[in-house]
Amino acid sequence: MCAECAIIADEMLDTTQTKATPPRDEPRGCLFALSQPPLMIFLAVIGCLLLMAALHDLLLL
């Protein structure tokens, strides 16, 4: 029973890489897009509008 466990464990620990490393010129992801100033200004304006609408509903209506 123990020999079978060792065989399965050896197979599970196989960490060989079958694919080559990805090229360096891949497109950047979502976090890079969120770090752009125009997008952050746009999201801040939309967030402020939503906050003002929520406060108006809660406090004045």
Contacts of 34 (CB under 8 A, 6+ apart): 40
What is the average per-residue pLDDT within 15-32? 68
One-character DSSP codes across the chain: -HHHHHHHHHHHT-----SPPPPTTPPP-HHHHHT-HHHHHHHHHHHHHHHHHHHHHHHT-
- The pLDDT tens digits of the residues spanning 24-42 come to 776 767 777 777 888 899 9
pTM: 0.48
Whole-number pLDDT of residue 25: 73
Tell me which of 15 and 34 has the higher pLDDT.
Answer: 34
Please report the pLDDT score of residue 34 as a whole number: 73
